[in-house]
Amino acid sequence: MLMKGALHTDELLAEVVASATGLRTERRVSHVFVLAVPAYGKLLFVTDAAVNITPDLEAKADIARNAIDLCRALGLERPKVAVLSAVETVTPKLPATVDAAALAKMAERGQIEGGDVDGPFAFDNAINPAAALAKRIGGPVAGVADVLLVPDLEAGNMLAKQLQYLGGATMAGVVVGATVPIVLTSRADGAAARLASAAVARLAVGMRLTRHGGG
């Protein structure tokens, strides 16, 4: 694995994604925050809040695949992925809702495997069963999401940091989709976040070795 030190993210990732010498795969690389939020009864994954600024549909599909793989590495047999927007209805006025519906259909047809993907969801009905029930939103993801797939980096970054600083969450951060996982935390994070991130990356390494027949 790699771990980012006291440098800007783009300095590290420029070398990771370099076509001639980097660590690219067929997947788009993406970042996942893994949060233990006291008010939520299980781990919550937020993606992508650090790498892809305004991902298109193809990039979001890889972001979903990467998050599902990481969740499975951490022991979730079938992760529940909620694709977020400001509202839970599909409207061309909000392109994120159209992308969310497309991602749900892609998962339904086997183009995104290993998890349940649905959307669009607003934040409340993605993580709160009562909110989902009040708006008559059903399905395996509604109100009980494991993964929050955000519409863009700004939304994801603000959401994750609000959960950390206002919600008291313990947070780990890792980049996935490259040939090795990359520990990527904020320069303001302390030792606990870095240690948690390294542990998450180690689990991701273990899953990759298993998948490719290593020891």
- For the chain, the structural domain boundaries read 2-211
- Quote the pLDDT of residue 214: 45
pLDDT at 101: 97
pLDDT of residue 95: 96
Largest Cα separation within the chain, whole Å, is 52
Buried/exposed code over 39-76 (b: 16+ C-beta within 10 A; e: otherwise): ebeebbbbbbbbbbeebeeebbbbbbbbbbbbbbbbeb
Q: Identity (one letter) of the amino acid at 61?
A: A
Q: Which residues in the chain come in under a pLDDT of 50?
A: 209-210, 212-215
Q: What is the pLDDT of residue 111?
A: 97
Please give the angle made by the CA atoms of 53, 54 and 55, to the nearest 5 degrees: 105
Looking at residue 212, its pLDDT comes to: 46
pLDDT at 19: 79
The answer to whether the pTM exceeds 0.85 is: yes
Give the list of residues 6+ apart from residue 176 with CB closer than 8 angstroms, or none: 29, 30, 31, 32, 66, 67, 69, 70, 182, 204
Q: Classify domain 2-211 at the CATH topology level.
A: Isopropylmalate Dehydrogenase (3.40.718)
Q: What six digits make up the tokens of 119?
A: 């959307």
What pLDDT is attached to residue 207?
Answer: 64
Query: What is the side-by-side order of every strand in the sheet holding 182-183?
Result: 2-3, 182-183, 170-176, 30-36, 44-47, 147-149, 80-84, 116-121
Q: Is 77 helix (H, G, I), strand (E, B) or coil?
A: coil
Q: Amino acid letter at 188? A: A
pLDDT at position 149 is 98
Looking at residue 215, its pLDDT comes to 40
- CA separation for the pair 82, 75 (Å, rounded): 18
The pLDDT value given to residue 210: 47
